[in-house]
């Protein structure tokens, strides 16, 4: 931050990049998913506008955290002011047969795999976690998670190809 205050453009870009990642993690734990990006952008704008108030004699983290906390509170206030739409008494409910069948088929296919393969595929391919997140949750290295996914998908492909009623 001190280098950025002194006009070093590369340091400022790096600061905003690293700060953006930290803010994203900060707000993901505190706000609904649809509000995270807005909170990050608002906070980055405030940091840009208030960068002259940072004193390099003090740590950057508490200064950043104070700004992030204030923006978080602002976001919570905005959430409270949003009009909540009343749900109508009669809501059409779609047929969930296809999703139930798909879920059942997926569960039976995953049961045929080794537990580490099934868990890696479920976390990364079905639930959308990153390899790194899945690695931390499973307790394996990222390369082991990738290997489990690759081998598991190959095994699933072979199983599906052997099944006569699958097109």
**Band (165; pLDDT cuts 50, 70, 90):** low
**Would you state the pLDDT for residue 160?**
82
Q: Would you tell me how many other CB atoms lie within 10 Å of the CB of residue 143?
A: 10
**Would you state the pLDDT for residue 87?**
65
pLDDT tens by residue, 131-164? 999 999 889 999 999 999 999 999 988 888 887 7
- Domain 2-81 = CATH 1.10.1740.10: yes
92 has a pLDDT exceeding 80: no
Over residues 57-86, the mean pLDDT reads 88
98 has a pLDDT exceeding 80: no
**Would you state the pLDDT for residue 83?**
72
pLDDT tens by residue, 18-63? 999 999 999 999 999 889 999 999 999 999 898 889 899 999 999 9
pLDDT tens by residue, 100-124? 777 788 888 888 889 889 999 989 9
166 has a pLDDT exceeding 70: no
CATH of 109-162, one of 3.40.640.10, 1.25.40.850, 1.10.10.10, 1.10.3470.10: 1.10.10.10
Ordered by start, the domain boundaries in the chain are 2-81, 109-162
């Amino acid at each position: 931050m001190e280098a950025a205050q002194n006009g070093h453009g590369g340091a400022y870009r790096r600061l905003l990049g690293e700060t953006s990642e930290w803010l994203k993690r900060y707000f993901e734990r505190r706000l609904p998913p649809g509000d995270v990006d807005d909170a990050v952008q608002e906070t980055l704008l405030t940091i840009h506008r208030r960068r002259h108030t940072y004193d390099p004699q003090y740590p950057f983290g508490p200064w950043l955290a104070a700004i992030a906390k204030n923006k978080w509170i602002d976001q919570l206030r905005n959430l409270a002011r949003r009009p909540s739409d009343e749900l109508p008494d009669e809501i059409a409910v779609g047929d969930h047969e296809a999703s139930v069948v798909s879920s059942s088929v997926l569960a039976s296919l995953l049961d045929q795999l080794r537990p580490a393969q099934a868990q890696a595929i479920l976390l990364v391919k079905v639930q959308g976690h990153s390899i790194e997140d899945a690695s931390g949750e499973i307790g394996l290295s990222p390369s082991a998670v990738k290997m489990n996914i690759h081998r598991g998908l190959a095994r699933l492909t072979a199983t599906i190809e052997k099944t006569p009623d699958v097109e």
